[in-house]
Amino acid sequence: MPSFCSSFILPLSSSRLRISLLAWLLLASMTGCNTPPAKESAKPPEIALTPAPVPAPASPAATPSISAAPPPAPREFRAAWVSTVSNIDWPSRKDLSVEKQKAEIITILDQAAQLKLNAIILQVRPSADAIYPSEIEPWTEYLSGEQGKAPDPWYDPLQMWIEQAHLRGLELHAWFNPYRARTALARSTLSHKHISKTFPAAVKQYGDLLWMDPAEPAAARQTIAVIADVVRRYDVDGIHIDDYFYPYPIKMPNGQEQEFPDDAAWIAYLKNGGQLKRADWRRQNVNQLVNTIYQRVHEEKNWVKFGISPFGIGRPDRLPAGIAGFSQYDKLYADVELWLANGWLDYLAPQLYWQIDPPAQAFKVLHEYWLTQNTQQRHIWPGIYTSRIDGSEKSWQPDEILNQVEATREKAGGGHIHFSMAALSQNRKEIRQRLSVEKYPQAALIPATPWLGKVSLAAPAFTLLSSQKIEINVGKKEVVRLLAIWKRYDQGWIFSVQAASNPEITLAKDPHYGAVRQLVVSTIDRTGNESARTTIDLP
């Protein structure tokens, strides 16, 4: 301890410690700074006290609590999508230098942390290509303007995103487009590593798109191999796929929908004795992909969450009265209700990109619908269309987004995701500022995912570094991700979260809340489970 000649390490043999640091400071002052090192027998004794259970999680609080003990840690998934396709969010242009790409990564993550988000969902595979070095697929054109061209000077963007997100206490979920092979806006020449070159029979022209055929085994194998490769090589917290299974239908000049060109695979299926109708067969192709991804992700790393963000309207035969619209069940061949019923995902993020008021696609009604379909009690974290706040005449007002955040809390949905980060970064109509003040005044932990496993975590020990700083011993460093910190000031309890890789906690007086009187710390593992708490009384 620099200001008191040595450090005091207080080991724990129980799940809770309440001890006055004043006593230790007085002891230091009595022994003096020139006292020889203490003998082994003079070490502070272990203190065994009655364990206290970890309280149940609570909703995010808007004001400090003045209770004698801190409330349960707030829990809410607060995330934003970061799109790389067409340079929607990052990088902002194809021709940015590596230095500017890196600077934008830092800016986005700083903004997310300051807003008290706790996760970023980063698009790592825009169109059968990659924002990271891959032996399977080429570098994306959205980095350099040329598909297959590595960053120069070389760096690994995905690795940087992960490391910098974790330093800020943010989860990083890798987002993949399952079957899109090329967008209409793509301009670069296709690389020799692109699937349209390596497995041309698996890729079909559909309008102005290239699309991997979900019925072709090579297409499914490619997608699964790409995802497994990322889980194996990178320390991602989640794997995320969106709504691009079969493509959204394209209208022909006569107004009819263009049929997806999967005749070859369909005929082969029938010749092999297939009995399903064509629509059911297509749904089976997608179901097999979803189920396989779920299994493979957890075979590689059991703690990595698998999430899906489908179109927000479900099966027509199950929808609540008054709800109508596009049927992903009949057009994209996505049987989302089946995936929920079978537990083939860890979280569902339906894209509820409508306002609260319109009756045919009412946000609250659709949110509640997906909650009722959730028989396996997976996480339901809907997507919110924050980017609809723009400069157009039909722009939404910030109150719409704020009200939708509140609507997810009313039903205990556990969280939400903003599409996309650009609207927050640009603070359109002060949406980032208002979210920070009105909806995210304190940090929140991501809801736990206990079905992925639970590690036994002891209450953390600590080392007193000075009168203004404590270092936490996190214990099992390989599984602990975060420190959950309650500080009791003169004006009440304030909650914060920081990365376990940064174990030092400052105890400085706050200009608004006064001096820190008590510190309560727990550790959080990879799947969000909380250890027992350590309580420290301060002078």
The domain that holds 469 is classified in CATH as: 2.60.40.10
Distance between CA atoms of 308 and 336, rounded to whole angstroms?
9
Nearest-CA neighbor of 177 among 219, 217, 124? 124
Tens of pLDDT, residue by residue over 350-361, are 999 999 998 999
Longest dimension (CA), the chain: 93
Segment 458-478 mean pLDDT:
90
Tell me phi and psi for residue 505, to 5 degrees: -115, 125
Q: Residue 427 CB: number of other CB atoms within 10 A? A: 16
Segment 378-404 mean pLDDT:
97
Q: Residue 490 CB: number of other CB atoms within 10 A? A: 11
**pLDDT for the residue numbered 65:** 55
Q: Residue 230 CB: number of other CB atoms within 10 A? A: 23
Tell me phi and psi for residue 80, to 5 degrees: -140, 140
DSSP state of 29: H
Same-domain pairing of 48 and 93? no
Tell me the CATH number at 365: 3.20.20.80
Same-domain pairing of 24 and 171? no
Helical residues (DSSP H) of 385-470, grouped into ranges: 398-410, 421-425, 431-434
Same-domain pairing of 9 and 141? no
**pLDDT for the residue numbered 63:** 53
Tens of pLDDT, residue by residue over 20-39, are 444 443 333 333 333 333 33
Look up residue 284 and give its amino acid.
Q
Residue 48 has pLDDT above 50, yes or no: no
**Gyration radius of the chain's alpha carbons:** 26
Tens of pLDDT, residue by residue over 253-279, are 999 999 999 999 999 999 999 999 999
Same-domain pairing of 319 and 362? yes
| pLDDT band at residue 477 using 50, 70 and 90 as cut-offs | confident
- Identify the domain containing residue 477 by its residue range: 2-73+451-537
Same-domain pairing of 377 and 262? yes
**pLDDT for the residue numbered 8:** 27
Same-domain pairing of 473 and 360? no
Please tell me whether the peptide bond between 91 and the residue prior to it is cis, using omega within 30 degrees of 0. yes
Last residue of a domain, one of 406, 441, 476: 441
Last residue of a domain, one of 441, 464, 492: 441
Same-domain pairing of 63 and 145? no
Same-domain pairing of 468 and 489? yes
**Residue 122 within a domain:** yes
Segment 41-55 mean pLDDT:
31
**pLDDT for the residue numbered 64:** 54
Residue 285 has pLDDT above 50, yes or no: yes
DSSP 3-state of 225: helix
Nearest-CA neighbor of 222 among 341, 134, 92? 134
**Residue 400 within a domain:** yes
Specify burial of residue 255 (Cβ count, 10 A radius: 0-12, 13-18, 19+). Answer: exposed
Segment 104-129 mean pLDDT:
98
DSSP 3-state of 471: strand
Spatial CB neighbours of 300, under 8 Å, sequence gap ≥ 6: 228, 231, 232
What is the crossing angle of helices 278-300 and 263-271, to 10°?
90
Decide the pairing of beta strands 504-506 and 492-499: unpaired
How is residue 410 written in tokens? 């009313």
Query: Do residues 473 and 503 lie in contact, with contact meaning Cβ atoms separated by under 8 Å?
Result: yes
Last residue of a domain, one of 441, 471, 492: 441
**pLDDT for the residue numbered 475:** 83
Specify burial of residue 283 (Cβ count, 10 A radius: 0-12, 13-18, 19+). Answer: buried
DSSP 3-state of 233: helix
**Residue 218 within a domain:** yes
Tens of pLDDT, residue by residue over 309-338, are 999 999 999 999 999 999 999 999 999 999
Strand partners, 94: none
Report CA dihedral (190, 194, 198, 203) to the nearest 10 degrees.
Answer: -90
Residue 189 has pLDDT above 50, yes or no: yes
What is the crossing angle of helices 363-372 and 398-410, to 10°?
30
DSSP 3-state of 384: strand
Residue 447 has pLDDT above 70, yes or no: yes
Place of tokens 């942390």: 113
**Residue 483 within a domain:** yes
**Residue 298 within a domain:** yes
Distance between CA atoms of 479 and 455, rounded to whole angstroms?
8
Same-domain pairing of 67 and 81? no
Helical residues (DSSP H) of 116-156, grouped into ranges: 141-144
Distance between CA atoms of 178 and 126, rounded to whole angstroms?
9
DSSP state of 437: I
Distance between CA atoms of 411 and 425, rounded to whole angstroms?
28
| pLDDT band at residue 390 using 50, 70 and 90 as cut-offs | very high
Distance between CA atoms of 264 and 339, rounded to whole angstroms?
27
pTM of the model: 0.89
Tens of pLDDT, residue by residue over 159-179, are 999 999 999 999 999 999 999
Report CA dihedral (137, 89, 237, 78) to the nearest 10 degrees.
Answer: -160
Same-domain pairing of 223 and 294? yes
Same-domain pairing of 96 and 143? yes
**Residue 446 within a domain:** no
**pLDDT above 70 coverage of the chain, percent:** 88
**Residue 194 within a domain:** yes
Average pLDDT, the chain: 89
Segment 88-104 mean pLDDT:
97
Same-domain pairing of 411 and 509? no
Decide the pairing of beta strands 238-241 and 305-308: parallel
Distance between CA atoms of 72 and 530, rounded to whole angstroms?
10
What is the crossing angle of helices 217-233 and 278-300, to 10°?
20
Decide the pairing of beta strands 171-176 and 238-241: parallel
Starting at the edge strand found earlier in the chain, the sheet holding 203-206 runs: 180-182, 209-212, 203-206
Number of folded domains that form the chain: 2
